[in-house]
Structure formats: structure tokens, C-alpha cells
Amino acid sequence: MSKMIKVSDLNFSYQNKKVVKNINFSINEGKSLAIIGPSGCGKSTLIYLLAGLLKPNQGTIKINGDIINNIRKKTGVILQNYGLFPWKTVFANVALGLKVRNYDKKKVDKIVVKALEKMGIDNLQNKYPAELSGGQNQRVAIARSLVLNPDLLLMDEPFSALDALTREEMQNLILKIHKENKLSYLIVTHNIDEAVFLGQEIAVMKDGEFIHMIDNPYFGDLKLREKEEFFELCKELRVMMSEDDLL
């Protein structure tokens, strides 16, 4: 199976403070990785490096075999604050990436309408972000990424501002999209339940380093939260993190 992401000896510093230290990992095509750790451990910086928004001081990032030095067209990015333009409608926010890439207007309309229907928000296309709930805005952000037909999705605490039920609904949606599109993704979170539900592999991060990597044999089950195995793996991860003073 080909590698979607391969990170080798990755280091990054802000001024003189090393934020990402000797990170090595890979994600196979169509697979997922959840990265969990406390605030300030370097998780978001790692996402920005993978997205090409920052450049490493040392080491390499390869996505689909290509070294990443800039923003990659086939990588979708979803951030905690949604990143929507408040002065644009839902339709215009979702269409933005296509228009920047000079897609024909008829094609833009067709792709956007299809994405909005898939997200269940086609009835909101003329609304503005301020008129929507957090869950609805997150659906708009996901639709905006999906219209570009990405092969990789990078998510930085995308559901942390949502209530528990909406958060689970969004997690289910990501898992369904992953299954339907064989989409590779990486999600950064500080939520143990989320890491166990959405990570095929789970990396525990502390002070800029990966200190544990766990395989999740239960990944992909939409009903996993109802099962004993889910609670056992959450417990195992919680014990591991408390032993490393991460809770």
C-alpha cells in the first residue's frame, strides 16, 4: 500500500524554541491518524507543517511521494474556528476554492450544490455564518474542503467548540466521508473519545515529540461508542496519558 504521508526527522522552532522534535511517522493511503496531547505540545504546528503553511527547519514531509514546500492543491484543511468569511453566504464560502482555481461558473454551481446536499445544508445556501449554529458552520467548512476533491484531509481540533451531541454527529460524518471516498486524514485533538473513534492509529504527543503510537483495531465501527472495547481503549489511553502527566 502506498504512503499518503511520510514524515522523516521533522524539526521546527519558533525563534529559539523547538516546538516539533524529531517526528517520524507515515500514513498509508486511505488510512487515518489521530494525534492527541495537551495544549501547547506542538500538535497545531505539525498540522501547519503538513499543510505547507510552515516550512520545517530540518527533516522532510512527503505527501503522495512529493516533498512538501508549499500549499498542496489536493490537501483539505479544516480548522477549529471554521475559517469562514462572515460577509459571504454559505454558497459563496463553499464555492471560494473553486472560483480561485478558475472553474467555470456552471461547474462551480453544480459541484457546490452537490456538496451542500451531501452535507444536508442545501437549505442554508443563502444564509451567512453568523446565522448558523456551530454544527452547521462546521458542515460548511467540511463542504468547502470536499468540493476540491482532496485525497488528504488535515483537521486541527475541528469539533472542540461544539456540544457533545453535535460533536459526535460531526465525527460520524467524517467517518462516513472517509469510508465513501477512501479519504486519508489526520486529526489533532485533546479529546480521548474522539481520538479513539477517529484514529486508525493514535499518536500521543508531548513537548513536541511522539511518545506513544497505538494501533486501533476497532476503527471504522459507527457503533463503536456503544461497545466495551471502546471504553477499554479510552481507559488504556487515559492511563497512558496520566502516567506521562498529560491529563
Digit-coded pLDDT (tens) for 64-91: 999 998 888 889 888 877 788 999 999 9
**Across residues 123-132, what is the average pLDDT?**
94
Neighbours of 239 (CB within 10 A): 11
Supply the mean pLDDT for the chain: 91
Give the position of cell 511517522: 25
Reading the block at residue 180, the C-alpha cell is 465513501
Rounded distance between C-alpha atoms, residue 141 and residue 194, angstroms? 19
**Across residues 93-116, what is the average pLDDT?**
88
Domains of the chain, CATH where assigned: 3-243 (3.40.50.300)
Rounded distance between C-alpha atoms, residue 35 and residue 44, angstroms? 10
pLDDT band at 1 (very low <50, low <70, confident <90, very high): low
Tens digits of residue pLDDT in 11-40 = 999 888 899 999 999 999 999 999 999 888
Query: To 10 degrees, the CA torsion angle through 198, 163, 82, 45?
Result: -50
Q: Is 197 within 8 Å of 169 (Cβ atoms)? A: no
Does the pLDDT at position 101 exceed 90?
no
* pTM for the whole structure: 0.91
**Across residues 188-200, what is the average pLDDT?**
95
Q: Is 138 within 8 Å of 170 (Cβ atoms)? A: yes
* Residue 144 burial (10 A CB sphere; 0-12, 13-18, 19+): buried
Rounded distance between C-alpha atoms, residue 189 and residue 171, angstroms? 12
pLDDT band at 240 (very low <50, low <70, confident <90, very high): confident
